[in-house]
Structure formats: structure tokens, C-alpha cells
Structure 1
Amino acid sequence: MPRNSLPPIQAFFEVTYRCNLRCDMCHYLEIIDDTETNKTYKNELSADEVKKAISKLPRFSLITFTGGEAFMKSDFMEILEFAVKRHKVHIITNGTTLSEKVVDDLMCLRLKSVWGCGLFYMGVSIEGNEELHDVITTIPGSFKKTTQGLERLVARKQELNSKFPLIHITCVINQGNVMDLATLYEYANNLDVDVCNFVVSSPATYWHGKDYDQDHHLDKPTAPVDEIDSDILHSQLTRIEKMSEGFKAKLRFSPNYITVEEIVRYYSNKSSYKDYRCYIPWAKVAFSAYGDVFSCPHYRVGNLNNGSGPISWHSDRIKEFRNKLKAEGIFPGCLGCCQSEYIGHSQKESN
């Protein structure tokens, strides 16, 4: 574990909890529904407030914008235009809003040099084939909108003969799409996407959930995941690993450094949280759409509206959290978190 903390190398901004999809595995469904039903998006940080928070971060920090769906925020482009002037920027989107105009605007903000600032990375979520994707998002036609937006972005990037933004497809592995992983990876490669990232599903609940006890939540084991037949999963994962040897699109599994064997254990509910480590509180920070500041998705350390924010990077609360994490290595409630790092199977009985 790190001994000291430096300013964050990456900052996540959940700029809005508005979203035009309702993915059934989304941790934010409760707050997304509340945002639309009660119009609580009116209480979200304004563009000026987000820009003020960005201005307090060091220029070397990578800025990641997410949501909800970031492009559902009416003044998101104003925020983005500010951020790309001083930072490398990463956007995570469902791709449905990537119209010709939006794509043209994004490409005008792209990174021109690896040493400079600009739109560096774009991530688009695809959950499987058309039928399954629409079932998971619960919105008919969402697959077509997503793939059309993604293909529009790739085509414009190719027209400009531009290396940036790099583009990644992200897919959460589940029972329904396990047989489609190879097809999705092949689609990503044929489309000239840079990275195809397959993520394990996480049963964790986050800070906005009902009856959430953030100070003790991480001490509780996560709920079991929906299991996937080990032989089928292993076969499909080794298949795409083999495909990656000849593909230009890089293959990535999340959490970081996780192996095929560990993914199979995970989906058999035989993984141990002790086989992972977390360094997030020393390297990253996250801001909610309401100004809450987090050292991890489960642990709030301040709020921009009460004068904390980046200043809380060295607050007593976050120092206490780091010390506890340093002593434990990781917590039971962290299993499945995409920000954790797999360090190897300990051969001990799973917890």
C-alpha cells in the first residue's frame, strides 16, 4: 500500500443522474428513477459548479465524465469544453445520443497530441446481441441507437485520420450474454475499436441506496452473483483470449489483472475478496451530481457545497479510511468492484 497520497491522478464526475435507459443491473436505478420522477436533476451541480471543482484539480488529473448519461445534462458540452482545455478527458456513455452534431463537436475537442489536453478516451456500453441488449436496457431500439452512435464516432475519427479519442466498448458479463462475448469482441475489432473490456457484474449497492450505512457497508460480504456454468464460461473466455492474439482491438478484463480462471471462480461464487487489493483512495476521487466527494464509490468524505471537495483529499476522514484500508488490504464488500486489482488466488477457502 502507498505510504503517502498525492493529488488524484483521476477524477470521476457523475455530472447527472438523468438517463434515457434503465439497465436492469445498474447500481443507479433507484436514483435515476427518483431524478426523473421528482425532477431532482434541478438540484444537481450547475456547469459553473462542476467547472469550479475541475479548476481545483491538478492538470495531470485524467477527468472521467459519467452519469447517469452525461449527454443528458443540458449544459454538459459547456463543462466538456472547459475540461479539455486543461486535462485529458474520458467520457463513458451509452452511445444513444451520439448524433452527427454531437460527434462533430466531440471530434473538435479531441486530443491532438499525447502530450496535450483534449478528449482522450470514449467508452460505449454494449451488453450483447440486439435482443439481449434491449432486454437489459429495458428500452426497445436502444441497441440500434447505441451501435449507430458508436459507428458514427468511429467513422468520423477515421475520416479525420485521428488516433484520438481512443474508443472502448464495455460489456458486463452475465448468464444471458456469455455465448455472445466472442461475437461482440469480433464486432469491436472489425469496427476498429481500440479496446473491448469485459467486466464482472457487481452485486454491491452504493451510497444512494435505501438504508445504506456507508461506514459499515464495506465490512459486509457482497451478495452472491448469478452463477454461470463454469465449463461454458471458461470455454468462451479462453476463446476470446485466443482471438486477441490476432486482433488489433485489445482485450481487457475488469477488475484489473483478473484472470480467466478467477472470473470462472467469481461466477461460481468461489472467489475470495482477500485475493484483491484496492489503491483507489490514494489515486482517485469521485464527485456525485449533488457535489458529494468520494474516496471510493461506497465512502463519502465531503461535499463541494460545504467548502470541502478536493481539499478533503487530506481530511481526517479520508486519512482514517486509508489507514483502515492499509491495515486490511481490502474489505469484504469490495468483491467485484471494477476498480480493485486482482493479486492472485490464495488457495484459501472463499469467504
Structure 2
Amino acid sequence: MLRPYITLAKNILVSNLKRLDFPYKLTYALTYRCNYRCKTCNIWQKRPVHELSLKEIQQFFRKSPDFSWIDLTGGEVFLRKDFVDIVEVVLSSCTKLVLLHFPTNGYLIDKIVTAVQKIMTWRPEKLIITVSMDGDETVNDEVRGIKGGWRRQIETFKQLHTIPGVKVVLGMTLSAYNADQVEVAFQAAKRECDWLEYEDFHINIAHVSGHYYGNDDQDPYQGCRETLVEEVKKYMRHRGIPLHPVAFLEREYLKRVERYLQTGKTPVRCHSLKSSCFLDPFGNVYPCGMYSRVVGSLRESDYDLSRIWNSEKCRQLQKEIWAYQCPQCWTPCEAYQSILGSLLRRDHASE
């Protein structure tokens, strides 16, 4: 259907000119449950109590169905026993949805593959799944804290690759623990998956967050900023000229990593609360995954996001973010819609 794509294009265009009446992108952390022990993230230490129930999630999406792009994340999303039911709610409620994305650590091979096969029977417009991988077998299992994790991640990637209609990629988060390991990680994966191309292997840089990762006492780039910049440049040379919209967004994101690492300032004016927002497992709405300012609670707003989005508190906080009065980050979760929202103007940090 063309209508969802037209709606998305319209929202992107309007976001270049003004704040949207409703966000077209939602990042929803379904759970903080996690069966890994990553060094760069402390989500696994959190107690996942009083998460939104399936009934509450149904109420939310029934009253807030106008998203074009949804990221369902965690924690590990497949640790929610009702994950497939949640996806069904999303797909049946959000008739304008163009893109559904979720990451997985890939450990629960059979559960993940079976769930994705079921999801594909509902024919989502576009489904992208990222299987996390932070190095070759040795480095990955050291960074992610689970022996045997890499083997299971690769097996999940292989099996998801065989499901028609699914776009599955490997995702590597760069930090001081693996800054110089991009090519090593790619070649290790390619030995197991001979079809693998750089287009199937995505990279980003680690971040800190108090309310999300619980790691705001860390410096993920300590002693490795120059290495990170060089690794990103080499990776971009491998990727070449972008030939589709997602590749374009990735390249625009990676082009600005160096500036972010040098200045610590968001390279493009942030569109959090202008085009997008973040929802935690308990129904709290934040600007994004990095900024620990609660905008409102779904449970206190009759599960209607528009009541929070159109509040004076939300509008004022968006103005502060636009003026760089926030923690400053450069994560794809926020960068992509910020890049799309600055196509018609120079919304750069140097202004």
C-alpha cells in the first residue's frame, strides 16, 4: 500500500518545518529483562516489575495508532512471553506503520525463529531485525558476558536469514572494549555466513543513560576516540555509495560520528519530542533513551500519548532540547529522524 509511505513522507517533510502534532517514530523498551551481562550496559541489573501489561499496551496503541516507524527494544524483547502478542497489537492497530524494527541478542534461537515466522504471517510492511554482535567469538563473549553467546547469535542470524520477507542484519556497538575490532568481527561472521556483505553488518557507537542503560558512570570512548573515528571511516569505505534510504541514513549518521566524538555535541539539531519519543516498560514517556527527564506517564494519561505530547511540559522540554540543553548524544535511535528532519535546512551544531 502506498498510503503509509505517503504519510511517512509527509511527516518527514513537515518535521523539517515545525514540530509534529504527533510523533511518527516511537522507541518502546518493552522490558528491562536481559539474559546477557554486557560490560557497556547495566539494564540486566534492573528489576523489571510493573511493566505495562498486554491489556495496557492494547489500550495505548488503540488510542495512539498513528506511528509510521516503531522500534521495539529492551532488554531482550523475546524474554517477554507475550512478545508475539504485542507485535500483533502493533500491526493491527498501527495501520500507517511502514517500518517495524527490533533488536535481539540472539541467544534463544528456537524461540526467536518461531516467533518471527509467526509475525511474518501478518505481513508487516517492512520488518528489520538486528542481531547484536560485538566482535569475533572471543571478544563478543567477553564484552557481552555470556560464554557461547556468539555461536548462538550467528545461528539465529543464519536461521532468520532464511525467512522470506525479513531483513536481518548484524549490529555492532563500538566502545573502548572493541573499538579496533570491526573488520575482525565482520570476517569472523563471514566465515560462518558466506553470503554476508557489509550492508548486512551495521555499526554504531556506545552511549550512556541513567534511566535506560543505567551506565551513566561510564566513559565508553575512554582512550579510543581516534581509533573509533578511523574504524568508522574504514567501514564507510567498505559500504560505498548508499543505494537505498536506510543506507543513506546510516551513512549520514556515520559521517557525523567524528564531529560528535571530538565535540561531545549532537551534530544535528535533535528531533526528540519534535518527531519522536521514548517509552519505557512502565509507561513513562521520555524525550529519548538518553535524557532522563520524564515527560509524562501513560498510566496517568488514560494511555493517550497525545495528551502528553501536546502538554506544555512536553512543548517546553522540546524547546530546551532544540537549544542543546540536554545530555547530547549521537545514537541512531534519535539521529535518523533528526537527519531526516534537517534535509531542508542546516540544523547543525556549528550554527
In structure 1, how many angstroms separate the alpha carbons of the residues matched to 2:328 and 2:135?
26
1:44 match: secondary structure? coil
Aligned to 2:207: 202
- Tell whether 2:45 aligns with 1:33: yes
Structure 2 vs 1, CA of residues 178 and 4 (structure 1 numbering), >3 Å: closer, same or farther? Answer: closer
The more displaced of 178-187 and 316-325 is 178-187
**Deviation digits for residues 88-138 of structure 1 (CA, Å, limit 9, x no counterpart):** 422121111231x541331332288xxx74561111111011111111111
Residues 1:302 and 2:302 are matched in the alignment: no
Shift of 1:244: 1.8
Greater strand share, 1 or 2? 1
The normalised TM-score by structure 2 is: 0.76
2:200 and 2:146 map into 1 onto residues whose CA distance is 26
Matched, 1:138 2:148: no
| Matched residue, 1:173 | 174
Name the structure 1 match of 2:270.
Answer: 278
Aligned to 2:24: 9
Shift of 1:247: 10
User: 1:257 and 1:111 mapped to 2: Cα distance?
Assistant: 33
CA contact (8 A) 1:70 1:93 kept: yes
Q: Give the match for residue 321 of structure 2.
A: 325
1:97 paired residue number: 108
Q: Deviation per CA, 1:317-349, whole angstroms, max 9, x where unpaired?
A: 1011122233x1x23511344423576684x9x
Matched, 1:237 2:229: no
Once the two structures are TM-superposed, the CA of residue 251 in structure 1 deviates from its matched residue by 6.1
Is the 1:18–1:68 contact (alpha carbons within 8 Å) kept by the matching residues of 2? yes
Sort the Cα spacing of 1:134 and 1:252 in 2 relative to 1 into closer, same or farther, 3 A.
farther
The counterpart of 2:87, out of the listed 65, 69, 80, is 80
Cα 1:336–1:125 change in 2 (3 A) is same
| Cα distance in 2 for residues equivalent to 1:92 and 1:323 | 30
Aligned residues: 312
Q: CA RMSD in A?
A: 3.4
Given that residues 143 and 177 in structure 2 are in contact (C-alpha distance below 8 angstroms), is that contact kept between their aligned partners in structure 1? no
Corresponding residue number in structure 1 for 2:12? none
Q: Rate the CA distance shift 1:61–1:236 in 2: closer, same or farther, 3 A.
A: closer
Residue of structure 1 in register with 2:58 after alignment: 51
Q: How big is the shift at 1:304?
A: 1.5
Alignment equivalent of 1:109, drawn from 113, 119, 122 = 119
CA 1:192/1:108 → structure 2, altered by over 3 Å: closer, same or farther?
farther
Superimposed CA distance per residue, residues 243-282 of structure 1 (whole angstroms, 9 cap, x where no aligned partner):
22399998688695342xx534655xx3241633201211
Q: Counterpart of 2:13?
A: none
Q: Return the TM-score normalized by structure 1.
A: 0.76
Query: CA–CA distance in 1 between the matches of 2:205 and 2:136?
Result: 18
Q: Which moved more, 1:169-178 or 1:186-195?
A: 186-195
- In the TM superposition, residue 149 of structure 1 has moved relative to its aligned partner by 1.0
1:64 aligned partner: 71
SS in 2 for 1:166: strand
For structure 1, the residue ranges without an aligned partner over 5 or more in a row are 213-221
Amino-acid identity (%): 19
CA contact (8 A) 2:26 2:71 kept: yes
Amino acid at match of 2:284: D
Q: Is the 8 A contact 2:20 2:275 kept in 1?
A: yes
